[in-house]
Amino acid sequence: MAGPQFQEMTEWSRFFTDADAQGSIVVLDARGKSETTHVYNVSRAYQRYSPASTFKIPHSLFALDSGLLRDEFQLIPWDGVKRSAAAWNADQNLRSAMRNSTVWVYERFAKELGDTRETAYMHTIGYGNAVATGDKPFWVEGDLAISSVEQIAFLQQLYRNQLPFQVEHQRLVKDVMVNEASPDWILRTKTGWTGKIGWWVGWVEWPSGPVFFALNMDTPNRLGDLAKRQSITRGVLRSINALPAAP
């Protein structure tokens, strides 16, 4: 991200200040013939943090590649254990597990894959520090960590179907990432939250090309801060016409 196409966006501080939040955002605008990377809070953008549920994007690819999942329709039976989120207390499939960020589904994948295979997959795609050590789940409580800059690099590969997985699996994961769409654009995203750090990563697809983003912020007010992930990011994207104005 060095060089003339790397722009530090100090003016984006207002989106964080208005939300009373501390964080960073990286936006790679690939509309048109050139790519421009915009960064607010450069030092933080290169700092690695636990990916939390943004890891469900590569984790879904691992589950599909290993045969744990056939497709988005395969039933993942609930174990009957009541959990804090009501939507988790039911059978799942890939689409619902991504939409509801159903932790137990991915804990089950992790158990079936095992740390050695998880680590090998992460090394293959160059995902952050690519470790499955520490407390479980390792992508929330453990030692796995990734920077916003690395998130963008990973998302670019997924967008282009350039990851070392079957193209149909990459397309499927992108399909279950759809958050919003209109005739002109598609927003594909995933949230993440460790309890202390919040993420929102993804991209907006336009006919002229994609705009990738990775927001990372502190969440000292815990649940009270979570909506800020999207509101800050949407404000930033609208400021460069990467998302339409709110209706």
Q: Could you give the CA distance from residue 184 to residue 239 in angstroms, rounded to a whole number?
A: 18
Q: What are phi and psi of 13, to 5 degrees?
A: -55, -30
Q: Has this prediction a pTM greater than 0.75? A: yes
pLDDT digits (tens, 9 = 90+) for 164-179: 999 999 999 999 999 9
Tell me which H or E stretch contains 28. Answer: strand 23-29
Phi, psi of 44 (to 5 degrees): -70, -30
**Three-state DSSP string of 126-152:** CCCCCCCCECCCCCCCECCCECHHHHH
Classify residue 46 by burial, with Cβ atoms within 10 Å: 0-12, 13-18, 19+.
Answer: middle
pLDDT digits (tens, 9 = 90+) for 61-84: 999 999 999 999 999 999 999 999
107's tokens? 């804990």
Across 108-133, average pLDDT = 98
Cα 52 from chain centre: 9
Domain ranges within the chain, ordered by starting residue: 6-239
Provide the pLDDT for residue 3: 39
The whole-angstrom separation of Cα 177 and Cα 88 is: 18
Residue 50 falls in the annotated catalytic set: no
- Residue of 13, 24, 34, 53 marked active site: 53
Of the CATH numbers 2.40.37.10, 3.30.200.20, 3.40.50.20, 3.40.710.10, which one belongs to the domain with range 6-239?
3.40.710.10
H or E element that contains 158 = helix 148-159
Nearest to 194 by CA among 162, 212, 165, 217: 217
What's the pLDDT score for residue 6? 85
Q: What average pLDDT does the segment 202-223 reach?
A: 97
